Chain A
């Protein structure tokens, strides 16, 4: 079973004859006998997923790393965090995804017009199943908990991923002040209700 370990800005993948899918071109070094092959857009999860991805403008180009050995993955010196999933679903920004183990399914979920207004596109990527996901963040990741009755509001540009039973709504802070150029610089926020975990990066895209 492939094992993902995060070490600061590098993800260490131990392969035992199996495969993981990772962002195209993210390998920086490997030891052992490992082959790299393109795994298509959206990870080859069927034609429908590919179509939805096209429609939603989420582009994610993946490669398959297969073999026995250790692969070091890194992307633009961004920090890496590994999330273990046991049947849950992780919603993640497609550009924050680094690698997924083979037991996980990638799909596209439409976020509605809210996503479009927040500049995220109308679709987000979801990862579900049993396994490990490596998520990238620009700077060390911040995890914040959402509990019933304690909603969390975050900047959409800092949002990386969320898990658990949370619902997302877009909060608009636009007022007449924004229209005359005296806004606070925070015109839209994402509000999370329910119970779960939200991962943020300490930088705004």
Chain B
């Protein structure tokens, strides 16, 4: 069962004894019923996860919502996209874009692309850093974006180009490579402003926001 979309910036989650929700700390807007909020530390499981999260700076303070009732989540007036993961493919997203997700989903910190220099360049260009968060399992996720997201399907043999600042996340077996298209025009300040692009190939869905502003 997914999150209910209240409006473009707020989602409602049903919390019950068999369904806890993890959310960004401070993102609760209101609730009804008997609900308790408790801080949690670290993205992954155990001490290793906590240390990993701290080292990679992929750590955003989260809280667990337990009990039974309904909770409204929203954050800083940012747009919210509700997704349902079916367990077939994980979601890759920046930790600071995670508004809320089912506590049953596993989150872990991933080294971007693990492709050496190219992966590092991509992280630097998109402002993501070297690490990203992988969310896997079956359940609901709510993502934050500036201006709302739209989904682009990528099929085998297709290339979708995405502005690194507008990239939000992706689901599926996709590879994301940074391509530099900088020429002499860019060096003299007459470029198209699109010198760096992410090239997404494989099969899956990539989420793009309608703005080039990072969170």
Measured CB to CB, the residues of A under 8 A from B are 7-10, 24-31, 34, 36-40, 61, 63-64, 72, 74-77
Is the pair B210, A36 in contact by a Cβ cutoff of 8 Å? no
Is B208's beta carbon under 8 Å from chain A?
Answer: yes
Min CB gap B70→A, angstroms: 28
Some 6 contacts from A to B, beta carbons below 8 A apart, are: A7-B150, A28-B211, A36-B192, A38-B185, A38-B186, A72-B150
Question: In whole angstroms, how far apart are the Cα atoms of A27 and B164 in the complex?
Answer: 10
Is the pair A34, B147 in contact by a Cβ cutoff of 8 Å? no
| Closest chain A residue, CB of each to CB of B185 | A38
Is the pair B210, A29 in contact by a Cβ cutoff of 8 Å? no
Is B101's beta carbon under 8 Å from chain A?
Answer: no
Is B12's beta carbon under 8 Å from chain A?
Answer: no
Within B158-215, the residues touching A (CB, 8 Å) are: 158-163, 166, 181, 185-186, 190-194, 206, 208-213
Is the pair A63, B208 in contact by a Cβ cutoff of 8 Å? no
| Closest chain B residue, CB of each to CB of A61 | B193
Query: With A10-B210, A28-B163, A74-B147 given, can you name 5 additional A-B contacts, CB distance below 8 Å?
Result: A9-B147, A9-B211, A29-B160, A74-B209, A77-B210
Question: In whole angstroms, how far apart are the Cα atoms of A160 and B43 in the complex?
Answer: 46
Is B97's beta carbon under 8 Å from chain A?
Answer: no
List, in ascending order, chain B residues with CB within 8 A of A75's CB: 211-212
Is the pair A29, B161 in contact by a Cβ cutoff of 8 Å? yes
Min CB gap B97→A, angstroms: 15
Is the pair A31, B147 in contact by a Cβ cutoff of 8 Å? no
Is the pair A27, B194 in contact by a Cβ cutoff of 8 Å? yes
Question: In whole angstroms, how far apart are the Cα atoms of A30 and B154 in the complex?
Answer: 11
| Closest chain A residue, CB of each to CB of B145 | A77
A-B contact count (CB 8 A): 89
| B192 touches which of A37, A72, A76 (Cβ 8 Å) | A37
List, in ascending order, chain B residues with CB within 8 A of A10's CB: 150, 210
Question: In whole angstroms, how far apart are the Cα atoms of A15 and B193 in the complex?
Answer: 19
Is the pair A63, B194 in contact by a Cβ cutoff of 8 Å? yes
Majority DSSP secondary structure for residues of B touching A:
loop
Question: In whole angstroms, how far apart are the Cα atoms of A64 and B181 in the complex?
Answer: 14
Looking at B147, B181, B185, B191, the one whose CB has the most chain A CB atoms below 10 A away is B147
Is B148's beta carbon under 8 Å from chain A?
Answer: yes
List, in ascending order, chain B residues with CB within 8 A of A37's CB: 185, 192
Looking at B159, B163, B186, the one whose CB has the most chain A CB atoms below 10 A away is B163
| A24 touches which of B148, B152, B161, B193 (Cβ 8 Å) | B193
List, in ascending order, chain A residues with CB within 8 A of B147's CB: 9, 74, 76-77
| Closest chain A residue, CB of each to CB of B158 | A31
Is B24's beta carbon under 8 Å from chain A?
Answer: no
| B212 touches which of A25, A36, A64 (Cβ 8 Å) | A25
| A25 touches which of B152, B190, B193 (Cβ 8 Å) | B193
Min CB gap B193→A, angstroms: 3
| B163 touches which of A8, A27, A38, A39 (Cβ 8 Å) | A27
Question: In whole angstroms, how far apart are the Cα atoms of A75 and B159 in the complex?
Answer: 23
List, in ascending order, chain B residues with CB within 8 A of A28's CB: 162-163, 166, 208-212
Min CB gap B95→A, angstroms: 22
| Closest chain A residue, CB of each to CB of B209 | A28
Question: In whole angstroms, how far apart are the Cα atoms of A74 and B191 in the complex?
Answer: 18
